[in-house]
Structure 1
Amino acid sequence: MKSFTLLLIVAVAAAAVSQTSAKFQVRTHDDAAKAFEDCREDNYVPDDIYEKFLNYDFPAHRRTSCFVKCFVEKMGLFSESRGFDEKAMIKQFTVKTPKDLDTVQHGLEKCIDHNEAESDVCTFANRVFSCWLPINRHVVRKVYA
C-alpha cells in the first residue's frame, strides 16, 4: 500500500511539472509587438525611450524596470510568484535556432537568481533580463523579428 501511495504521489507530481511546461506557448513577433504596445500604455513610456525599447535596448529610466517586467510577463517568461521560467526561455529562444541553446543557457546560468536581494518585482525582473539580454540580444531579435 505504501508503494502504491508513493507511486501515485510521484505520478501526480510528474504530471504537474509536465503541465506547467506544456502550458507555455512560443510567442511570435506579433505577440511581442502587442506586448510592447500594451506595456507602453501601462507604464506611460515616453516616445524617445520607447524607440530604444523597440531595439531591445533598455536604458536606465524610471519607466524601464516595470516596462521590462510587463514585457517578460506578457511573453510568458516571468511571473511575480515564480520569477523567470527557465524552461520557457529555452523553448522560446531556441525553437527557431536550436544552435543558440548554449548561449541561452549560458545567459540563464549567469543571470537567473531567485531574488535573494528581495528587490521589488520590477527591479528583480529588469535585473535578470538586463543581465541575460546582452548575451542573447541577437537571439531575441531573430526570434521576434
Structure 2
Amino acid sequence: MKFFVALLSLIFAVVLASAHDHAGHSDYVVKTNEDLLRYRDECVSQLSIPADLVEKYKQWSFPDDEKTHCYLKCILEKFELFDAAKGFDVHKIHHQLEGDKVDHSDATHGAIENCAKEAAAAGDDACVRAYRGFNCFLKDNIQLVQAGVEKSAK
C-alpha cells in the first residue's frame, strides 16, 4: 500500500511539473511579420546598426560580428524567445514556428532543444549565446523560420 501511495504521489508530481513547465507557454502569442518589422526598427535604433548590416539581415544573412550578435539578442528578446539570464525558451520557439497545434515530441522540438543547449555552452555573453542558438537552428531550418513569421502575417 505504501508503494502504491508513493507511486501515485510520484505520478502526481510529474504531472504537476509537466503542467507547470507548459503553463508559461500556453498563452504565448505567435508574432507576425509586422512585429518583426517593428522589432527590427527598434533594435536597429537602440543598437545603432548600420544600414549595410540591416540590408543583410533583411536577406536572412547574419554575419558573425558583435553588432549582429546583439541585434539577434534584441530581436529574440522582443519575440519573447530568449532571455539573457534563462536562455532560449524552447516551447515558445516551437510555438512561433508551428503555431498553437505544436507537437513538442517531434523532431523539430528536439532540434530546437539541441540548438538551445549548444547556445548555452557558448559562454557568458548573452549576445553570443543568442547568435549561436539562432544560427544553429537557421542553418538547417531557414524555410521553417521564415515561414514562422510570414504565415502569421496572412
TM over 0.5: yes
TM-score by length of 2: 0.75
In the alignment, is residue 115 of structure 1 matched against residue 120 of structure 2? yes
Aligned to 1:112, the other structure's residue is in SS state helix
| Consecutive unaligned residues in structure 1, runs of 5 or more | none
Q: Partner of 1:142 in structure 2?
A: 147
In the alignment, does 2:66 pair up with 1:62? yes
The CA distance in 2 between the partners of 1:103 and 1:29, in whole Å, is 25
Question: For structure 2, which runs of at least 5 residues remain unmatched after alignment?
Answer: 1-8
User: C-alpha displacement at 1:98, in angstroms?
Assistant: 6.6
- Counterpart for residue 133 of structure 1: 138
Report the counterpart of residue 55 of structure 2 in structure 1.
Answer: 51
Per the alignment, residue 95 of structure 1 pairs with 99
Per-residue deviation, residues 34-72 of structure 1 (Å, max 9, x unmatched) = 111111111111111101111221112330000000011
Q: Partners of 2:145 and 2:10 in 1: how far apart?
A: 42
Name the CA distance, whole Å, in 2 between partners of 1:37 and 1:77: 18
Distance 1:103 1:11 in 2: 23
Measured at CA, do residues 144 and 6 of structure 1 come closer, stay the same or move farther in structure 2, by a change above 3 Å? Answer: closer
Shift in Å at residue 96 of structure 1? 8.6
Q: What is the identity, as a one-letter code, of the residue corresponding to 1:131?
A: C
**Partner in structure 1 of residue 33 of structure 2:** 29
Provide the rounded CA distance (Å) in 2 between the counterparts of 1:110 and 1:10.
Answer: 23
Contact 1:72 1:78 in 2 (8 A): yes
Query: What amino acid sits opposite 1:25 in the alignment?
Result: V
| Higher Rg | 2
Aligned-partner residue type, residue 63 of structure 2: P
**Deviation for aligned residue 1:6:** 8.6
So what's the TM-score if we normalise by structure 1?
0.79
Once residues 10 and 107 of structure 1 are traced to their aligned partners in structure 2, the CA distance between those partners, rounded to angstroms, is 24
Which residue in the other structure is 2:129 paired with?
124
Number of equivalent positions: 143
- C-alpha contact (below 8 Å) 1:78/1:85 kept by paired residues: yes
Q: Which residue of 2 aligns with 1:76?
A: 80
Aligned AA (1:44): S
